[in-house]
Amino acid sequence: MTPKTMYRYLEKHKNVNALALFIILVGIFFFKTLLFGKLPVPSDTLVGLYHPWRDLYVRQYPNGIPFKNFLITDPIRQQIPWRKTVIDSLQQWKLPRWNPYSFSGTPLLANIQSGALYPFNILFLFFSFEIAWTMIIVSQPLFAVIFLFLFLRNKRLLIIPSFVGAVIFAFSGFSVAWFTWGTMVSTFMWVPLMLYLVDKIHSEKKKLRWKALFIVSVVFSYFAGHIQIFLYGIAVVLWYSYWTYWRKGLCRLNMWHVYAAILCLLLICSQFIPFIKFILQTQRISSGADWTHEGFFIPLHHLIQFIAPDFFGNPTTLNYWGTWNYAEMVGYIGISGLFLAILGISGQTIFWFLTVIIALVFSVASPISMLPYRLHIPIISLLQPTRLLSVIDLALSVLAAYGLSEFVKGRRKISGTIIVVFVGIVCCLWIWVYAGGFGGQTDIAVARHNLVMPSFFLIAVGICVIIRLILPKKIIRYYWTTVPVVIIALCIFDLFRFGWKFIPFTDRTYFFPQTKIISFLQTQKKPFRMLATDDRILPPNVNEFYGIESISGYDPLHDGRYEEFIAAAERGSSDIRPPYGYERIMTPKNYTSPLIRLLNVRFILSFDAIQGAREVMAERKTKLFEMSNIVPRVYLADTIITKTGKQEIIDILTSSTFIPGSTVVVETKIPVLSVPLTTQESVSIQSYEDDMIQIRVIAGSPRLLVIGNIFDPGWKALVDGKPVSIYRTNYLFMGIIVPTGDHTASLVYR
């Protein structure tokens, strides 16, 4: 079959063939998963970087299990543990509202990145967790390529250009960099479908089904798990709608738009409202994003990565010397893709060209991009602009589709000029690296080495362009289809090579394996909390996958009071003044602080001996200690102090006269007196779940029952089935009044 015949065959059987090709391509990209059972999950970093897993494999790997990409530990430290807690709740037919495992307890449904209500979570009900998670990862490029293909075909582009544009988008730098998170690409992949549905709504007579699908796509995108990418996606859809229809007078705002907005809000309010409530409790609103730190914006020189993605090295080869971090800087769509994107710029595609320019203006470091942060513009000042690479890659992918369409038709003679410009840029980069550049000797050697492959692809594309421009059809009749096919092959090979280099495919046995210490902690009677004295031991949130509560946590959104409390504990004083230094990760280690005692820390993981604790077991280098005289999770107070100021409360909690587990500080006056406890009075936990705790109390007089779970407005309390008020106690915790006698107290998070 000649290329020309193949081209016509694909065009004739476009729908079935396109879907088959998409599945084949995605299957090729994930061939290690399909053929060898490898997981596209960076779990090699868990067992290769952290204890006690390093201890587990020390005999086979004395220096630790080799890991591919140290940069992408977030999926195993955030997204996967959060999703595991979500799925555990859903499998019990409960709404995942509360997460007791991180930050001593934090809202779960309010955590957008947990993907708590993402419809694709249904996969976890039928498959093991690691298989279902892998299916979500694989679904990202598959749906991204299908949705953009639909949009481009609806624009009346031929099948091959539409196919190429869709593939470029699905395997672009943004997509590859964030595949393993399972949230960011899952959120943005719905944007092309929204654009397709916008066109359908404005072009079809029977609009109801398209409107319904549009609302569904918006809701699915929101629930996929990344609010910033969702906002960027909605901005693109609104911008497209304005430019394509409203600006030209083809559409006006009407009640449908109002109804659609209201319906979308109603459908997402189950997670959106808890999110808003929680974010108001954090320091993020008042402090905003730390836009002054390195890597918040894309440095201008990092635009080189659109031509040579590894010019500044790559984290997988441990030679990255660019601005932190690599994943935030790379928007690579391949040399062929970039050539086609520039070729696709015309009056017909001016919208997409402007989209690229606008996104670049606000993502690249400049006085203009910094202005929203200097002015503290609401919402915008909380977003990291490097994520605009999602928008840039989408726009470039659409331009590339139009560019290939023009190249196939032979209507554009500018392709030669573009190649000359590309060659000029690459030649300048070669001169730069041989002249010494602006890095060290080792850095320049890395840049020089990583310019070879982009130069090869540029030469190959250049040869194709020369053949296309010089050789007449009369001499070689099928070159007009052969050359585009070669360019397509180069584009796919380039992107796949780039993706395979960055994304790890790991052995299934590395996916959160059991160790002796972890198994022991899982068998201990709940509730209790633990801490680790070294960042190399059981990193924050990973304990959540195993159902072990910890006082540490890793999330940019966390309770503001908890941040102050931990800051004072780590400082070893009553100092709660900012700054605290906990932008995302909180790993308290000062177990001697009286504040840590209040957190019900029973077990400590450490490499060294812990004073005043009993060593329970050791797993090679890692030791597990049990603390004595811990403050129980629930207890009755006999001494009550009322203070209203936060500093006053911390001063008392850290004073030598304060008795943890007996004395309690409340922030409002309560109708309970300070009376010594008698031996007949007792308190015991009858049942304990993530979002519910039931307690039996025998009180000789009206008592304040203290519950060492984090105070949150979502908690509701009952005594013998009757609602009672919850009082904030000891700065962070909860307290309820229990009358004299034998009673059952319940706390439920709603």
Q: What is the 3-state secondary structure (H, E, C) of 386-445?
A: HHHHHHHHHHHHHHHHHHHHHHHHCCCCCHHHHHHHHHHHHHHHHHHHHHCCCCCHHHHH
CA dihedral 103, 106, 108, 114 (to 10 degrees): -30
CB 746 within 8 A of CB 718: yes
Domain boundary among 502, 537, 571: 502
Pairing of strands 601-606, 529-532: parallel
CB 278 within 8 A of CB 230: no
Check residue 662 and give its pLDDT: 94
Could you tell me the pTM of the whole model? Answer: 0.94
Check residue 9 and give its pLDDT: 60
Domain boundary among 627, 659, 690: 627
Return all residues near 651 (Cβ < 8 A) that are at least 6 apart: 574
> What SS3 state is found at 642?
strand
Domain boundary among 440, 474, 502: 502
Instruction: Give yes or no: residues 498 and 526 share one domain.
Output: no
Instruction: Give yes or no: residues 563 and 581 share one domain.
Output: yes
Q: How far apart are CA 739 and CA 555, in angstroms?
A: 39
Instruction: Give yes or no: residues 440 and 542 share one domain.
Output: no
Examine residue 36 and state whether it is found in any structural domain, yes or no: no
Examine residue 741 and state whether it is found in any structural domain, yes or no: yes
Q: In terms of DSSP H, where are the helices of 530-629?
A: 542-545, 560-571, 594-597
Across the beta sheet with 613-619, the strand order is 529-532, 601-606, 622-627, 613-619
Check residue 415 and give its pLDDT: 81
**Tell me: the pLDDT tens digits for 620-640?**
999 999 998 899 999 999 999
Examine residue 56 and state whether it is found in any structural domain, yes or no: no
Instruction: Give yes or no: residues 553 and 639 share one domain.
Output: no
Check residue 2 and give its pLDDT: 54
Instruction: Give yes or no: residues 8 and 137 share one domain.
Output: yes
Check residue 637 and give its pLDDT: 96
CB 84 within 8 A of CB 78: no
Q: How far apart are CA 231 and CA 218, in angstroms?
A: 11
Instruction: Give yes or no: residues 411 and 428 share one domain.
Output: yes
Examine residue 42 and state whether it is found in any structural domain, yes or no: no
Count of domains forming the chain: 3
Check residue 417 and give its pLDDT: 87
Check residue 113 and give its pLDDT: 96
Low-confidence stretches of the chain (pLDDT < 70) are 1-15, 285-288, 410-413, 438, 471-481
Instruction: Give yes or no: residues 552 and 483 share one domain.
Output: no
Check residue 532 and give its pLDDT: 97
> What SS3 state is found at 170?
helix
Instruction: Give yes or no: residues 283 and 395 share one domain.
Output: yes
Examine residue 658 and state whether it is found in any structural domain, yes or no: yes
Instruction: Give yes or no: residues 536 and 616 share one domain.
Output: yes
CB 533 within 8 A of CB 607: yes
Check residue 154 and give its pLDDT: 95
Instruction: Give yes or no: residues 602 and 710 share one domain.
Output: no
Instruction: Give yes or no: residues 622 and 728 share one domain.
Output: no
Q: How far apart are CA 8 and CA 146, in angstroms?
A: 20
List beta partners, residue 80.
none
CB 533 within 8 A of CB 589: yes
Q: Could you tell me the two tokens for 636? A: 């009755």
Residue 644 lies in domain: 634-749
Check residue 379 and give its pLDDT: 80
Examine residue 48 and state whether it is found in any structural domain, yes or no: no
Instruction: Give yes or no: residues 685 and 550 share one domain.
Output: no
What CATH number should be reported for the domain holding residue 669?
Answer: 2.60.40
Check residue 257 and give its pLDDT: 85
Examine residue 312 and state whether it is found in any structural domain, yes or no: yes
Return all residues near 92 (Cβ < 8 A) that are at least 6 apart: none
Check residue 504 and give its pLDDT: 96
Examine residue 509 and state whether it is found in any structural domain, yes or no: no
Q: What is the residue-averaged pLDDT of the chain?
A: 92
